[in-house]
């Protein structure tokens, strides 16, 4: 009987810890958003190589969007690059930031910030991948992003000559 009570108490303690981590998503969101931004940049580079044309990744404080022209708003539906599976994540933040679920655009999750290293309030800008996969950054963007949330800081770097995203 004592063993049963000890086991029940231990399960209660573990359940309390697990529940707290389950409901606090900001750590997960920070890591997941970092990987989503990297994947979006890599996808844009692959499309640029495959189609031998320029592809633009426009990054604001609220979203990351892939377009086929330099218009940061990606206002023209024809300029929007379709998402690889036909749809983006469709999350609440993506619907609010992108307006459509058919193009390669993702909204930043709540509790996570994305900006320039040392200046999270500055919008990162744009990256243009040419037909050879090389990256050229917009003015003010040095090829490094900083993503923060829940005490975690992740950095994404883009090499201009090779277009490599790390």
Which of residues 73 and 22 earns the better pLDDT score?
73
**All domains of the chain in start order, with CATH:** 1-157 (3.55.40)
- Dump pLDDT digits (tens) for 108-161: 999 899 999 888 788 888 999 999 999 999 877 888 999 998 889 999 999 999
- Dump pLDDT digits (tens) for 129-138: 999 999 999 8
- Give the per-residue pLDDT at 26: 65
End-to-end CA distance of the chain: 55
Angle at 128 between CA 126 and CA 131, to 5 degrees: 170
- Give the per-residue pLDDT at 106: 95
Q: What span, in angstroms and rounded, lies between the C-alpha atoms of 16 and 133?
A: 48
Token duo for residue 125: 């800008």
Token duo for residue 134: 């090389």
- Dump pLDDT digits (tens) for 48-66: 999 999 999 999 999 999 9
List the one residue out of 137, 126, 138 whose CA is nearest residue 159.
137
- Give the per-residue pLDDT at 39: 94
Eight-class DSSP state of 23: H
- Give the per-residue pLDDT at 75: 86
């Amino acid at each position: 009987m004592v063993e049963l009570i000890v086991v029940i108490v231990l399960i209660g303690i573990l359940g309390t810890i697990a529940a707290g981590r389950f409901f606090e998503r900001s750590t997960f969101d920070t890591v997941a958003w970092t990987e989503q931004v990297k994947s979006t940049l890599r996808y844009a580079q692959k499309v640029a190589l495959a189609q031998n044309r320029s592809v633009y990744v426009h990054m604001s404080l609220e979203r990351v969007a892939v377009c086929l022209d330099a218009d940061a708003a990606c206002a023209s539906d024809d300029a929007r690059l379709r998402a690889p599976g036909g749809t983006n994540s469709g999350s609440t933040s993506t619907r609010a930031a992108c307006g459509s679920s058919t193009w390669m655009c993702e909204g930043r999750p709540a509790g996570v910030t994305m900006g320039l290293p040392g200046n999270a309030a500055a919008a990162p800008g744009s990256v243009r991948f040419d037909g050879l996969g090389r990256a050229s950054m917009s003015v003010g963007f040095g090829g490094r992003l900083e993503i923060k949330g829940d005490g975690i800081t992740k950095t994404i770097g883009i090499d201009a000559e090779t277009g490599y995203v790390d």
